[in-house]
């Protein structure tokens, strides 16, 4: 009889928002993991269902349309035996608190991970440009914590938000990466010209477009991936300690 594999902490990824951003997160998760073989990587179960209604459009319209889809994804990951949840979508964190209240599992927060990375990489930053969806800006997912740290958040402004940031995000979702890079690079340069010491690329499509562009920037997707690795290494260490005690 074959022995059952030892129980391992599994990360659940509530993804599909959008699919390319989820794939980017998975690559960064693998790259952040200290592993020398397949078996040393983290077990991950991905709920990559892109049919979640647009988070930004819903929030700006006062709609809760994404909620049942997010909750269904959470329940699917719970049923699959996941031990923690990551959501590689900044705007979906409008619903983070409600999701966290619906489960006993830890639901890692992309904004908290990004701000820890910001403090580590740019400790002297006092003005930070936030490139994000209009909903992430309106929901102030980053603003309150930046303000609590004495940091001013700089936004692109309504015109540039529509013509460059939103257009760039939409271009990534449509697979037009070169076009997206042009729009978003212009928006990033604009924020730097206005005095931003660093940038937060606070929509998971944006780091996809700006990959390889030299910027003083924090990638929240990468920060979330590193937070997930930290969680998993701690869970693995705890499991190993328990095994030695039995």
The string of DSSP letters for 62-97 reads: T--THHHHHHHHHHHHHHTT-SEEE---SGGGGGHH
228 is catalytic: no
Helix axes 110-121, 220-245, angle to 10 degrees: 100
User: What's the Rg (C-alpha) of the chain?
Assistant: 18
DSSP tag of 150: T
Among 11, 203, 218, 228, the one annotated catalytic: 203
Which of the following is catalytic: 9, 58, 70, 89? 89
Q: Is 212 left (phi over 0), alpha (psi -120 to 50) or beta?
A: left
Answer yes or no: are the C-beta atoms of 152 and 221 closer than 8 Å. Answer: no
Q: Which residues of 234-244 are buried (b: 16+ CB within 10 A; e: fewer)?
A: ebeeeeeeeee
DSSP 194: T
- List Cβ neighbours of 70 (8 Å cut-off, separation of 6 or more): 14, 52, 92, 95, 99
Question: Rounded to an integer, what distance in angstroms lies between the CA atom of residue 198 and that of residue 165?
Answer: 17
CA distance 59 to 56: 5
- How long a stretch of residues is the chain? 246
As annotated, the active-site residues are 89, 203
């Amino acid at each position: 009889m074959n022995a059952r594999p030892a129980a391992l902490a599994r990360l659940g990824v509530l993804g599909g928002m959008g699919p390319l951003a989820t794939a980017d997160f998975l690559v960064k998760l693998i790259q952040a993991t200290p592993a020398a073989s397949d078996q040393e990587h983290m077990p991950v179960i991905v709920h990559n269902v892109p049919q979640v209604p647009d988070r930004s459009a819903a929030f700006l319209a006062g709609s809760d349309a994404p909620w049942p889809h997010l909750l269904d994804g959470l329940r699917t990951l719970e049923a699959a035996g996941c031990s923690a949840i990551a959501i590689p979508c900044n705007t979906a964190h409008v619903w983070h608190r409600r999701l966290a209240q619906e489960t006993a599992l830890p639901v890692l927060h992309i904004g908290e991970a990004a701000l820890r990375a910001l403090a580590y990489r740019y400790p002297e930053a006092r003005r930070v440009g936030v490139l994000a969806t209009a909903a992430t800006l309106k929901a102030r997912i980053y603003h309150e914590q930046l303000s609590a740290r004495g940091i001013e958040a700089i936004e692109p402004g309504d015109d540039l938000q529509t013509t460059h940031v939103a257009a760039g995000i939409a271009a990534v979702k449509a697979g037009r990466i070169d076009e997206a890079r042009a729009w978003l690079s212009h928006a990033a340069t604009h924020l730097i010209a206005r005095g931003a010491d660093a940038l937060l690329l606070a929509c998971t499509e944006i780091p996809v477009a700006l990959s390889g562009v030299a910027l003083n920037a924090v990638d929240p997707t990468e920060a979330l991936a590193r937070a997930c690795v930290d969680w998993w290494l701690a869970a693995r260490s705890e499991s190993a300690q328990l095994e030695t005690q039995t």
